[in-house]
Structure 1
Amino acid sequence: MTKISLTRSAGRAGIAAGAAALLAFGLAAPASADPVRAQYTGNAETGTTIKMNGQNTGTNLFRLQLEDGTELTAYCIDLETGIRSSAWYHENEWANYPGEGEFTEPAKVHWILQNSYPEKTAAELAEAAGVENRRFGDEQALAATQAAIWHFSNGAELSGERPDGVREVYDYLIGAAEDLPQTAEPDASLSITPESASGEAGGVIGEFEISTSASEVPVVLGDDVPEGVELVDLETGEPVAAVNDGDTVGFNVPEDAEEGTASFSLSTTAMVQTGRLFLGEDPDKATQTLITAEGGEATVSASAGVDWTAAGEEPPATDGPSDEPSDTPSPTDGPSDEPSETPAPTDEPSDKPSAPADDNNSPSLPVTGGALAGLVAAGVAALGAGGGAIYLSRRRKAADTTDVEG
């Protein structure tokens, strides 16, 4: 579980509570290293055409280029699906094989990869299978290896007789194949948890936990790190230049720092072993699944960052009522030219419930619903009564004037 560390003072408990709320919405997700990715860039080698289950089929060693430029070669383990030009792949487990044909005996496929072309030369395979045909070369060795792989990956059979030694080597490989366990994942895992954090200048922001199978992984600070901001070990408070598994780090941001951001990244290498599956990344565009024929190094990396506001930054002003006295007189201010006449009290009982007495200990309630409608009606009635009183007053004045002149 990731926490956002700002300062230890109790005065920032509100910020800590806000950070916890943010974490509840997913900011604690680890910035795990992306899976090893590669793109199919073409054929590394081409073998002879063979018949599998009676159908003519081409054979190839495919070229996979990793994101760091490393190139691997791979065989097809999905006889039923074609390969898509420039398709992107990611390294995965045997158990996640998505091909059309069942991956029947993956452990034997692994043995084939360890004991055939290109791990073994064409001459070595010919000797092991007792082939004396001088026509047996790299193209035939590739074709025999691919046919043996399809036998164990898709349950397919090599059809027909071959005069070039492919049949003999194919028979030798499937007869000698043994179960080998799945190859290990790339040996340098790397992740940072979480991938982001927020806070206020004047303390340590972020509590990033490092998980890796490598040691002394160098830290690379981003170009956005301002002067005076440091990535520190949370246990010692000292700046860090390299990290190990289980370390926790955060950015120490000075109190006088302006609003800003800071990030860091980690990178190390991993060995992709022979026999690792590479699956197409786009589920909507099928491409055949590949299995590595040769191993190679791949780069794994992860990054994380923080952002902060300036210390003591006031929230923006809101539009609300002003406490300053208004210079604009109220419509009711000042003397009126019209006499005010208050209706006489009535002894008639009211049908309306009387308002409760003003009690300083009673909380006031918002006026809503029916209560608001009642107030509006009362206001309209009061306006009507006032208008009637003014009208009667003017009639009396007019009558008095008539009497005097007559």
Structure 2
Amino acid sequence: MTKISLTRSAGRAGLAAAAAGLLAFGLAAPAAADPVRAQYTGNAETGATVRMDGSNVGTNLFNLRLEDGTVLTAYCIDLETGIRSSAWYHENEWANYPGRGEFAEPAKVHWILQNSYPRKSAEELAEAAGVDNRHFGDEEALGATQAAIWHFSNGADLTGNRPDGVTEVYDYLVENAEELPQTAEPDASLSITPESASGEAGGVVGEFEIATNATEVPVTLGDDVPEGVQLVDLETGEPVSTVDDGDTVGFTVPEDAEDGTASFSLSTTATVQTGRLFLGEDPDKATQTLITAEGGEATVSASASVDWTAAVTPPTEEPSEEPSEEPSEEPSEEPSEQPSEEPSEEPSEPADDNNTPSLPVTGGALAGLVAAGVAALGAGAGAIYLSRRRKAANTSDVEG
């Protein structure tokens, strides 16, 4: 497909990179395990060139070859991205559309696919649109159909008035496209979601949902499934050998199982229906997103696996025959967590209790006691001196 313009494409490159980044980091809806894969192998048909928003764009139906060799045809729903040669694609849901267009009304795109070329021949399409033009053929029918799809997937409009009936058929498709409910999205050919799970022995590990348009799809257990481990229907608890659309299954693992793994796979012939989305597998190499114009029967497969760890059993405590030790009454040797008291700056008051020894005398009180002692010594010395004077006087009188 020819790009509308290099300027417009470059201006939206950041948006495409961001969308691819979100898809790569798993922010879109979960992808199914082992999705149906297909490779772009060239163009199936070339349609009329159309003018979208003032720029000429080529139109094509693309070939998608599935891994089993089945070839499907598809339209582009990503106007601003070119298709990459030999690109690999995988089947996916409408909600996971990562392209540069908004894909705002996928149900209307699905209506167009069911009511236009190649599901309807050019003659049938022209009659439905009321076009009586001998120049209107397969190329014009393809071009008008692709233009109507881009109108809803990218918000682009067919401009100019063509004399070959393309404009009339485009208007007919856009005006009559019905707002189908989301349940109109075609079922997946075969998928298992999620692709892996982990758990612990002693219960059910994994909750895998099956999506398919086939019935009674046979289940094959992997060689790694240990004895005693079973794949069961989570609703009934019964072992399963086949599954259908909407079933949920998981592995029951015995409580005494050691660390281990188990897997299962599905394989069947299913229909890849018209309206299924195909996304480029490599987020680092952008290629336009495709939607199937014609479905086909194909051999499809899917698989999923689990791993678990052994159950942790708490040790059994036997009762002790010895009496339990009494708690120690000795004070703890650890320092108290209470903060130490600040020393008081005021002297302590003497105790009133006569039996309580007094505290040592210090400071001014000691100085007073020393002075009293000195005075007492002085008085004693004076008394001795006076006594000696009197004795001496008495002796003198006797002698005279």
Structure 1 length as normaliser, TM-score?
0.54
Q: Aligned equivalents of 1:37 and 1:145: distance in 2?
A: 25
Q: Aligned equivalents of 1:224 and 1:79: distance in 2?
A: 46
Q: Aligned equivalents of 1:105 and 1:51: distance in 2?
A: 21
* Counterpart for residue 51 of structure 1: 51
Deviations 1:50-87 (A, max 9, x none): 22222221110111223333322111122211111112
Larger Rg: 2
| Structure 1 residues 91 and 280: alpha-carbon distance in aligned structure 2, compared to 1, 3 A threshold | same
- Structure 1 letter corresponding to 2:210: T
| Structure 1 residues 190 and 148: alpha-carbon distance in aligned structure 2, compared to 1, 3 A threshold | same
* Counterpart for residue 24 of structure 2: none
Q: Aligned equivalents of 1:41 and 1:79: distance in 2?
A: 19
Please state how far the C-alpha of 1:108 moved relative to its aligned partner.
Answer: 2.4
* Counterpart for residue 139 of structure 1: 139
Deviations 1:198-236 (A, max 9, x none): 99xxxx99956654356644233556789xx68656799
Q: Aligned equivalents of 1:247 and 1:283: distance in 2?
A: 31
Q: Aligned equivalents of 2:280 and 2:204: distance in 1?
A: 36
Q: Which runs of 5+ in 2 are unaligned?
A: 1-29, 310-400
Percent of matched pairs sharing the same residue? 69
User: Once structures 1 and 2 are overlaid, which stretch shifts more, 296-305 or 238-247?
Assistant: 238-247
| Structure 1 residues 197 and 71: alpha-carbon distance in aligned structure 2, compared to 1, 3 A threshold | farther
1:304 aligns with 2:317: no
* Counterpart for residue 186 of structure 1: 187
- Structure 2 letter corresponding to 1:278: F
| Structure 1 residues 147 and 223: alpha-carbon distance in aligned structure 2, compared to 1, 3 A threshold | same
- Structure 1 letter corresponding to 2:175: G
* Counterpart for residue 280 of structure 2: 280
User: Once structures 1 and 2 are overlaid, which stretch shifts more, 101-110 or 40-49?
Assistant: 101-110
Please state how far the C-alpha of 1:261 moved relative to its aligned partner.
Answer: 8.7
User: Would you say the 8 A contact 1:35–1:91 is kept in 2?
Assistant: yes
User: Would you say the 8 A contact 1:59–1:146 is kept in 2?
Assistant: yes
User: Would you say the 8 A contact 1:231–1:240 is kept in 2?
Assistant: no
Q: Aligned equivalents of 2:115 and 2:238: distance in 1?
A: 51
Three-state SS of the structure 2 residue aligned to 1:293 is strand
* Counterpart for residue 21 of structure 2: none
* Counterpart for residue 212 of structure 1: 210
Three-state SS of the structure 2 residue aligned to 1:79 is coil
| Structure 1 residues 223 and 121: alpha-carbon distance in aligned structure 2, compared to 1, 3 A threshold | same
Q: Aligned equivalents of 1:210 and 1:191: distance in 2?
A: 5
1:92 aligns with 2:92: yes
Q: Which runs of 5+ in 1 are unaligned?
A: 1-29, 309-406
User: Would you say the 8 A contact 1:205–1:306 is kept in 2?
Assistant: no
User: Would you say the 8 A contact 2:77–2:154 is kept in 1?
Assistant: yes
Q: Aligned equivalents of 1:95 and 1:248: distance in 2?
A: 26
Q: Aligned equivalents of 2:224 and 2:288: distance in 1?
A: 42
- Structure 1 letter corresponding to 2:303: A
User: Would you say the 8 A contact 1:36–1:66 is kept in 2?
Assistant: yes
Please state how far the C-alpha of 1:111 moved relative to its aligned partner.
Answer: 1.9
Three-state SS of the structure 2 residue aligned to 1:283 is coil
* Counterpart for residue 130 of structure 1: 130
| Structure 1 residues 40 and 172: alpha-carbon distance in aligned structure 2, compared to 1, 3 A threshold | same
Q: Where does 1:57-72 land on structure 2 (aligned, <5 Å)?
A: 57-72=57-72
| Structure 1 residues 146 and 213: alpha-carbon distance in aligned structure 2, compared to 1, 3 A threshold | closer
User: Would you say the 8 A contact 1:32–1:191 is kept in 2?
Assistant: yes
RMSD across aligned positions (CA): 4.1
* Counterpart for residue 42 of structure 1: 42
| Structure 1 residues 61 and 275: alpha-carbon distance in aligned structure 2, compared to 1, 3 A threshold | same
* Counterpart for residue 371 of structure 1: none
| Structure 1 residues 85 and 132: alpha-carbon distance in aligned structure 2, compared to 1, 3 A threshold | same
Please state how far the C-alpha of 1:141 moved relative to its aligned partner.
Answer: 0.7
Three-state SS of the structure 1 residue aligned to 2:291 is strand
Three-state SS of the structure 2 residue aligned to 1:286 is coil
- Structure 1 letter corresponding to 2:305: A
* Counterpart for residue 20 of structure 2: none
Q: Aligned equivalents of 2:240 and 2:93: distance in 1?
A: 35
Count of aligned residue pairs for this structure pair: 272
| Structure 1 residues 277 and 172: alpha-carbon distance in aligned structure 2, compared to 1, 3 A threshold | same
Deviations 1:141-195 (A, max 9, x none): 1011111111222222223332322122112222222212343353554357856
Q: Where does 1:285-364 land on structure 2 (aligned, <5 Å)?
A: 285-297=285-297, 299-304=300-305
Structure 2 length as normaliser, TM-score?
0.55
Q: Aligned equivalents of 1:232 and 1:289: distance in 2?
A: 40
Q: Aligned equivalents of 2:208 and 2:95: distance in 1?
A: 28
| Structure 1 residues 80 and 307: alpha-carbon distance in aligned structure 2, compared to 1, 3 A threshold | closer
- Structure 2 letter corresponding to 1:127: E
Q: Aligned equivalents of 2:237 and 2:40: distance in 1?
A: 46
- Structure 2 letter corresponding to 1:265: S
| Structure 1 residues 264 and 173: alpha-carbon distance in aligned structure 2, compared to 1, 3 A threshold | closer
Three-state SS of the structure 1 residue aligned to 2:128 is helix
